[in-house]
Structure formats: structure tokens, C-alpha cells
Structure 1
Amino acid sequence: MGKRECRKCSAIIPTWTTIDGKRKSLQNRKFCLECSPYGAHNTKPVLDVSDLTLEARQARRRAQLVRATQRRREKVMKMAIDYKGGACLLCGYNKCSRALEFHHINPEEKLFSISRDGNTRSWEKVKAELDKCVLLCANCHREVEAGVTFID
């Protein structure tokens, strides 16, 4: 097992220690005994938020929200592609999910764009919009939009 460091002060945490004459395991600790005394149950977040300025706290929260939104968008897009079969309807392409696009069969029924606006909406709303679409690769989608290829 590798050496573990305290999340707060970066001190090396020993595997075992003796406390009150008893041998205690420290294998699962995240903080050293100085930062979190044995039995104190004080393993709150490492960063003391009161030390940060309001701007720093807001920037930190904004960054957390951006990461959460990115994860949600990726998840919804994967679910949408799987829901529509995972491959281009016309040629069967399925190598890169980023090359797959949703084509609205009847553009007048389109409420929102799946790729742009749909990934922040509820899954039920996205599914309802997906039912109006077909999944095409980028090449086939351009051909359909140009009128070169037609969807049966």
C-alpha cells in the first residue's frame, strides 16, 4: 500500500498507531491525527470556506455547476443516441457518437434542438422531441438537408 497524505496539511499518515494503550488502524483516514484527532468526527471539507472571499466562493461554485452541466449534457446525449438506435439510419455509421446528429422529419413540429437545447431539459421532454427525429451521421444529414438523399 502506498503512502497516504493528509488532505489538509499533506503530512504522511501512518498505517497504525497506539492511542490510549491500544493499537489503532489508520488505513482509512483521509486526515492526519493533528488535523482530525482520533474520535473527534470532524472530517468536514478540507477547504475552510470562511477563508475565501465572496468572489472566490462564487467562482468555485460556478466551476462546480459548469462541470455538473457538462456531465449532464454528455449523459443525456448518450441516452438520446441509445434511444434512437445508436447508429445512422441510412448508412449504419456508429464509430463516433459526436458525428451523429438528430434530423427532424417535419421541421414545423420542432420545439427545440436536441443537440443544443435538449440536453438541459427533462428526459421526458427530450424523448418526446426524439420521437419526431431520426438519427443520422453528419454526412447523411448534410445530404438529406441538401435534398440529395431522402428518408423513406
Structure 2
Amino acid sequence: MPGIKKPDTPHSRYSNKVCRSCGGKINRIFNRSGLCSECYVKTFNTERFCLKCNTIKPANEFTPTSVYCKKCLSKYTNDKWKKLKKDAVEYKGGRCEICGYNKCIAALEFHHKNSSEKEFNIGSVRTLQISLIADELDKCILLCANCHREAHNVIS
């Protein structure tokens, strides 16, 4: 409120917090790590905590912006891609539209009926939800790898 001066004392919730590493005073209001700013920088630059596998690992096992270690991030990304591919294949009927092949999802591919209407390559979109790529899937037919190669060979 205007006219009311805040006291010069530190935030009461943090006035008695001490660093769990060096015992120094923690003076940042939003510090949840339990470390003073100097120890936080030292720790963060040498090791980090992975939120996926709940372990402390060397900082070089993380990408600069991720809260997951590289191994967990890779697994998370691959699992997300596999789910998106599964959902997209199910959306298009689950089998090759020419020969009916449906044994291995990795062998099923999306072929644009008219390449001039193509806005993006379905295979390169790994972060979107199926609802966001449905319009592009509607421009495609689902083909097995063999039929897809034959379709492109006929076009050439």
C-alpha cells in the first residue's frame, strides 16, 4: 500500500536460514535449494539434480536448459515421439492403405497426396500433439515403407 514503509529487516521466513553447505546466511527470498548464492553457483556448475531419475549427477550430463539428465531427456523424447507416431498411425487407420500391412509401426510412413499442399514433414514434428497435426495428416495417406518407395518411384 502507498505510504506504508516495509521494515528494513530480511523477510521473516528467511531471516534465520543457513546454507546447508557452508553454514552461511541465505539472503534470497526465493531460494529453495538450501544453499547460499555462492555455494549454489559452485554446486550448479559442478553437479545437478535430475528431476526424472531423482539423482545428483555431474553437470556435464545435462544439456544447459534441461532439468533432466541427457539419458533421461533422450528416453523422454523418444517415448514422446513413439506415442505421437502411434497416435498418428491410429488416426490414419493403422495399416497401409495400399497393401494393408500393419505388423510394425516403424515401417509405416506418411505420404502426402499432393506435395504442393505440404506445410511440414510429419516425421520431423516431434513436439506437437496429434490434435495439432491432424490437418496435415488429413493431406496424407498411410503407407508401408515398400509401398511408399513404389509411390515415389512412379512419380519420378
Q: Tell me the TM-score normalised to structure 1 length.
A: 0.58
Higher RCO (C-alpha under 8 Å, 6+ residues apart): 1
Q: How many residues align?
A: 100
Seen in structure 2, the aligned counterparts of structure 1 residues 56 and 133 have a Cα distance that, compared at 3 Å, is closer
Alignment partner of 1:54 out of 56, 59, 81 = 59
- Once residues 132 and 118 of structure 2 are traced to their aligned partners in structure 1, the CA distance between those partners, rounded to angstroms, is 12
SS at match of 1:136: strand
- Once residues 135 and 87 of structure 2 are traced to their aligned partners in structure 1, the CA distance between those partners, rounded to angstroms, is 13
Does 1:147 find its partner at 2:140? no
- Once residues 146 and 62 of structure 2 are traced to their aligned partners in structure 1, the CA distance between those partners, rounded to angstroms, is 45
* Amino acid across the alignment from 2:126: N
- Once residues 54 and 105 of structure 2 are traced to their aligned partners in structure 1, the CA distance between those partners, rounded to angstroms, is 38
Are the counterparts in 1 of residues 113 and 139 from structure 2 also a CA contact under 8 Å? Answer: yes
C-alpha displacement at 1:124, in angstroms? 2.2
* Amino acid across the alignment from 1:111: E
Does 1:85 find its partner at 2:90? no
Q: Tell me what 1:118 maps to.
A: 125
C-alpha displacement at 1:106, in angstroms? 0.9
Map 1:66-81 → 2, pairs under 5 A: 66-81=74-89
* Amino acid across the alignment from 2:78: Q
Q: Tell me the TM-score normalised to structure 2 length.
A: 0.56
- The CA RMSD over aligned residues, in Å, is 2.3
- Once residues 81 and 46 of structure 1 are traced to their aligned partners in structure 2, the CA distance between those partners, rounded to angstroms, is 34
Seen in structure 2, the aligned counterparts of structure 1 residues 57 and 94 have a Cα distance that, compared at 3 Å, is closer
- Once residues 99 and 145 of structure 2 are traced to their aligned partners in structure 1, the CA distance between those partners, rounded to angstroms, is 11
Segments of structure 1 that go 5 or more residues without pairing to the other structure are: 1-44
